[in-house]
């Protein structure tokens, strides 16, 4: 009885094709997941909460959303992360104008100028003010990670509202990669618990 064997070169080609197909499928599945988590973000209509909190960075995009929300729902307090970084220049300018600072504006100065630092600082602020509900405004690609971090650090009910950045396709894919890594990090290394 003859026994047929596959030559090593054919076996390698079959293996390489299977690996390529598996990588391709994994990439497509990740893109679908990333699109839903970071781009096609759905959130319920905002409601009146104790405070609106604008996370630092991309302030030209985030600050107007936070201010409109505060005004439209008559929310008494707007908290702005004060970072003295280029991406937060609009919010920082608002915090630097002490004499023109509107009532109800709190500028949150951070020890660590990242989302983990903001979550810890917000935990202290929410506890000190006795707030039970807050609305957090950030870029929509950042909502999943920010919501998870802030939820780990406070007992207040957290609503999220996302602003929309003006990104091209490459910038969105870059954000997908960064936020996927950040979300894994927050899941594996929770904050405040």
Residue 11 pLDDT > 90, yes or no? no
Average confidence (pLDDT) over 46-57: 94
Q: Is residue 137 part of a domain?
A: yes
User: b/e string for 127-137 if b means 16 or more Cβ within 10 A?
Assistant: eeeebeebbbb
Give the mean pLDDT of the chain: 90
Q: Is residue 28 part of a domain?
A: no
Q: Is residue 182 part of a domain?
A: yes
What is the CATH number for 111?
A: 3.40.50
Q: Is residue 170 part of a domain?
A: yes
Identify the H or E element spanning 167.
none
pLDDT in the model for residue 154? 93
Residue 191 pLDDT > 80, yes or no? yes
Reported pTM: 0.85
Q: Is residue 110 part of a domain?
A: yes
pLDDT in the model for residue 1? 57
Residue 59 pLDDT > 70, yes or no? yes
Total domains, the chain? 1
Q: Is residue 20 part of a domain?
A: no
Instruction: Read off the pLDDT band of 4 (50, 70, 90).
Output: low
| Alpha-carbon span 120 to 38, nearest angstrom | 23
Q: Which of 24-38, 72-86, 101-115, 119-133 has the lowest mean pLDDT?
A: 101-115
Q: Is residue 57 part of a domain?
A: yes
Q: Following DSSP, what letter does each residue of 16-49 receive, concatenated?
A: HHHHHHHHHHHHHHHHHHHIIIIIS---PPP---
Which of 187, 163, 167, 166 lies closest to 52 in space, CA to CA? 163
| Alpha-carbon span 167 to 150, nearest angstrom | 25
pLDDT in the model for residue 7? 65
Q: 58: domain range?
A: 51-188
pLDDT in the model for residue 102? 65
pLDDT in the model for residue 68? 95
Q: Is residue 35 part of a domain?
A: no
Residue 76 pLDDT > 70, yes or no? yes
- β-pairing, 51-54 with 133-139? parallel
pLDDT, tens digit, 9 for 90 and up, residues 100-129: 556 789 999 888 889 999 999 999 999 999
């Amino acid at each position: 009885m003859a026994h047929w064997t596959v030559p090593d070169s054919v076996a390698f080609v079959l293996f390489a094709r299977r690996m390529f197909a598996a990588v391709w499928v994994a990439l497509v599945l990740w893109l679908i997941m990333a699109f839903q988590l970071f781009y096609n973000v759905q959130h319920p209509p905002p409601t009146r909460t104790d405070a609106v909190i604008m996370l630092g960075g991309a302030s030209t995009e985030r600050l107007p959303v936070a201010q409109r929300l505060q005004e439209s729902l008559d929310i008494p307090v707007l908290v702005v992360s004060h970072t003295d970084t280029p991406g937060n220049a609009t919010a920082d300018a608002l915090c630097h104008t002490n004499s023109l600072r509107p009532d109800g504006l709190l500028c949150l100065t951070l020890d660590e100028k990242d989302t983990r630092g903001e979550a810890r600082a917000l935990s202290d602020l929410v506890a000190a003010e006795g707030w039970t509900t807050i609305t957090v405004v950030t870029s929509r690609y950042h909502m999943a990670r920010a919501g998870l971090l802030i939820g780990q650090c406070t007992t207040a009910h957290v609503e999220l509202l996302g602003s929309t950045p003006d990104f091209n396709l490459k910038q969105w894919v870059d954000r997908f990669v960064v936020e996927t890594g950040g979300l894994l990090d927050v899941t594996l290394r929770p904050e405040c618990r």
